[in-house]
């Protein structure tokens, strides 16, 4: 394959610094979604391997957490440098196993690596407090300490970035990790783990297991040595993990599904609104939890916007992510396409109109035509649930109050977008939206320096930024008495 010479194509799990097969020799195949070709086979691990990975993370915690912040910071910085030095190979791996256009994959490597750089710096800033005492012979202190072993379960849509934004802060704080990447995209995770070893991060700090997701999950949940579960993925699995963490009262961070509204007001700059909503909707072929899921347009600009939007969608080139100029890769697998089809069927049966697309693409496989659907209403699955595909449903509203009501009419609360040139409105609406992130006149807002996370059923906790560190720290109060 294109990657055989790079040294980054690892096809075993990583336990205690050793590249390891499944103990029973079982494997799972990893496919290129654009061609259906088998790229590699990786171990199908289960309970025993997960136990061993936890033990190695637990054993290593005592030494890793006792290093100075500077020592951990230097390791992370080196890891960042290596991720950047291998940007092209990592991007190729991402496109190969995930399907996104190579240009987006290169962007993901920069974005993913940026979390390691940022948290290498934050490692040095885990400050405590000195609290004025209520009794004169006492001194009160607050210190922050790493939570311990972290289980990190990640999805396929950002095979690198969803790992680095968990593992970066975890390692910076002094935690050790057991990563379970998606079985659909394990190769990028393994390449990143290989680079962590090359960076001098001690064996056992970063462990990677994959295979039987629910068995691996159960072992992570049941272990009293695992003190924290951090997860990005579907809301239903997130709820299971939260419930399963109760038995050992683990800390939990969850980044779950969204149902992002993208509100275009009459006073929006049309070009900015079209460009921003295309970016928010069609990035990664619509397969991100912050993708615009409902485009809610005010009646005065509706026709102009819908026409300009549809024209822009028509220009999105569909194809293999390795082909120059392609903006839309394949969907991750057949069930993703079937979900899109069922949502569109449901909408049509309830009166929606297909403006553009609405079919599988002539390229076959899991390619789907970029789609625009109008006459969408709140009864349709398209406006109630995340479609996770290249489908843009357009809804109509009259007043600002109505737009806010429609936007908040969901159990999800991750990202929202608004397009308006009225400053007062932008603040008013941003404050009224029950969402963790709001993009104003901008469709791509994620960055390592800002907090990412949801409210309502979109999750718990924040990733990135200084707040991302708190998820991996415990606060300890120390009282010095009888002074």
Q: Which of 27, 234, 333, 447 binds ligand ADP (CB under 6 A)?
A: 234
Closest separation between CB of residue 200 and ligand ADP, Å? Answer: 27
Q: Which of 120, 147, 172, 237 binds ligand ADP (CB under 6 A)?
A: 237
In terms of CB distance, is 181 or 413 closer to ligand ADP?
181
Q: Note whether 184 and 213 are within 8 A (CB).
A: no
**Which residues are part of the catalytic machinery?**
255, 289
Query: In this structure, how many other beta carbons lie within 10 angstroms of the beta carbon of residue 75?
Result: 23
335 binds ligand ADP (CB under 6 A): no
Q: Segment near ligand ADP (CB under 6 A), from 69-77, 176-184, 274-282, 452-460? A: 176-184
185 binds ligand ADP (CB under 6 A): no
DSSP 24-82: T--EEEEE-TTT--EEEEEE-B-HHHHHHHHHHHHHHHHHHTTS-HHHHHHHHHHHHHH
Closest separation between CB of residue 421 and ligand ADP, Å? Answer: 36
33 binds ligand ADP (CB under 6 A): no
Cα–Cα distance for residue pair 313/475, rounded to 1 Å: 49
214 binds ligand ADP (CB under 6 A): yes
Instruction: Find the length of the chain.
Output: 483
Restricted to residues 103-162, the positions that interact with ligand ADP (CB under 6 A) are 153-156
Q: Note whether 189 and 179 are within 8 A (CB).
A: yes
In terms of CB distance, is 240 or 304 closer to ligand ADP?
240
Cα–Cα distance for residue pair 370/310, rounded to 1 Å: 10
Q: Note whether 102 and 95 are within 8 A (CB).
A: yes
In terms of CB distance, is 116 or 209 closer to ligand ADP?
209
In terms of CB distance, is 39 or 153 closer to ligand ADP?
153
339 binds ligand ADP (CB under 6 A): no
217 binds ligand ADP (CB under 6 A): yes
279 binds ligand ADP (CB under 6 A): no
In terms of CB distance, is 156 or 452 closer to ligand ADP?
156
In terms of CB distance, is 16 or 244 closer to ligand ADP?
244
Cα–Cα distance for residue pair 355/378, rounded to 1 Å: 18
Q: Segment near ligand ADP (CB under 6 A), from 6-14, 78-86, 229-237, 317-325? A: 229-237
166 binds ligand ADP (CB under 6 A): no
Q: Which of 233, 390, 439, 443 binds ligand ADP (CB under 6 A)?
A: 233
Residues that bind ligand ADP (rule: CB under 6 A) add up to a total of 14
In terms of CB distance, is 252 or 274 closer to ligand ADP?
252
Where would I find the beta strands (DSSP E) of 241-326? 251-255, 260-264, 292-298
- Structure-block tokens of residue 174: 């002094």
In terms of CB distance, is 233 or 461 closer to ligand ADP?
233
* 362: Cβ contacts below 8 Å, ≥ 6 apart: none
Residue 330 has what DSSP assignment? -
Q: Note whether 149 and 177 are within 8 A (CB).
A: yes
180 binds ligand ADP (CB under 6 A): yes
* 332: Cβ contacts below 8 Å, ≥ 6 apart: 33, 98, 99, 156, 157, 184, 287, 366
Closest separation between CB of residue 154 and ligand ADP, Å? Answer: 6
- β-strand pairing of 459-460 with 251-255: antiparallel
Closest separation between CB of residue 56 and ligand ADP, Å? Answer: 20
Closest separation between CB of residue 250 and ligand ADP, Å? Answer: 13
Residue 326 has what DSSP assignment? -
Cα–Cα distance for residue pair 87/342, rounded to 1 Å: 37
Cα–Cα distance for residue pair 29/187, rounded to 1 Å: 11
Q: Which of 73, 92, 182, 293 binds ligand ADP (CB under 6 A)?
A: 182
Q: Note whether 404 and 267 are within 8 A (CB).
A: no
Q: Tell me which residues touch ligand ADP (CB under 6 A).
A: 153-156, 180, 182-183, 213-214, 217, 233-234, 237, 240
């Amino acid at each position: 394959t294109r990657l055989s010479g790079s040294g980054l194509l690892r096809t075993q799990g990583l336990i205690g610094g050793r590249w390891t097969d499944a103990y029973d020799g079982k494997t799972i195949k990893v496919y290129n979604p654009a061609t259906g070709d088998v790229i590699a086979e990786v171990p199908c691990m289960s309970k025993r391997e997960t136990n061993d990975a936890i033990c190695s993370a637990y054993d290593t915690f005592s030494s890793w957490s006792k290093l100075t912040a500077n020592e951990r910071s230097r390791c992370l910085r080196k890891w960042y440098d290596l991720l950047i030095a291998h940007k092209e190979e990592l991007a190729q791996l991402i496109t190969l196993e995930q399907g996104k256009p190579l240009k987006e994959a290169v962007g993901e490597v920069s974005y993913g690596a940026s979390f390691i750089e940022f948290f290498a710096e934050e490692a040095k800033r885990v400050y405590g407090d000195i609290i004025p005492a209520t009794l004169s012979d006492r001194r009160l202190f607050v210190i922050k300490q790493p939570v311990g072993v972290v289980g990190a379960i990640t999805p396929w849509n950002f095979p690198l970035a969803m790992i680095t934004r968990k593992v970066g802060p975890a390692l910076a704080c002094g935690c050790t990790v057991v990563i379970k990447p998606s079985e659909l995209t394990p190769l990028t995770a393994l390449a990143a783990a290989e680079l962590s070893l090359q960076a001098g991060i001690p064996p056992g700090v970063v462990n990677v297991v994959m295979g039987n997701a629910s068995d691996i999950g159960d072992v992570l949940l049941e272990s009293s040595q695992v003190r924290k579960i951090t997860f990005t993925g579907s809301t239903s699995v997130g709820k299971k993990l939260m419930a399963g963490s109760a038995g050992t009262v683990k800390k939990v961070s969850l980044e779950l599904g969204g149902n992002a509204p993208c509100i275009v007001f009459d006073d929006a700059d049309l070009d900015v609104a079209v460009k921003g909503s295309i970016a928010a909707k069609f990035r990664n072929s619509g397969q991100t939890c912050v993708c615009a899921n409902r485009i809610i347009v005010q009646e005065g600009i509706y026709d102009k916007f819908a026409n300009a939007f549809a024209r822009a969608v028509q220009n999105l080139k569909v194809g293999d992510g390795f082909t120059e100029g392609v903006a839309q890769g394949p969907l991750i697998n057949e069930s993703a396409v079937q979900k899109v089809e069922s949502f569109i069927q449901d909408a049509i049966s309830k009166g929606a109109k297909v403006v553009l697309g609405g079919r599988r693409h002539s390229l076959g496989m899991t390619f789907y035509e970029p789609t625009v659907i109008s006459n969408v209403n709140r009864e349709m699955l398209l406006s109630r649930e995340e479609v996770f595909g290249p489908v843009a449903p357009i809804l109509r509203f009259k007043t600002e109050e109505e737009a806010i009501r429609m936007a908040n009419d969901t159990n999800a609360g991750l990202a929202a977008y608004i397009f308006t040139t009225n400053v007062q409105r932008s603040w008013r609406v941003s404050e009224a939206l029950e969402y963790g992130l709001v993009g104003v006149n901008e469709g791509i807002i994620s960055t390592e320096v800002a907090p990412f996370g949801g409210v309502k059923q979109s999750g718990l906790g924040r990733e990135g930024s200084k707040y991302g560190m708190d998820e991996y720290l415990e606060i300890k109060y120390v009282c010095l008495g009888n002074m």
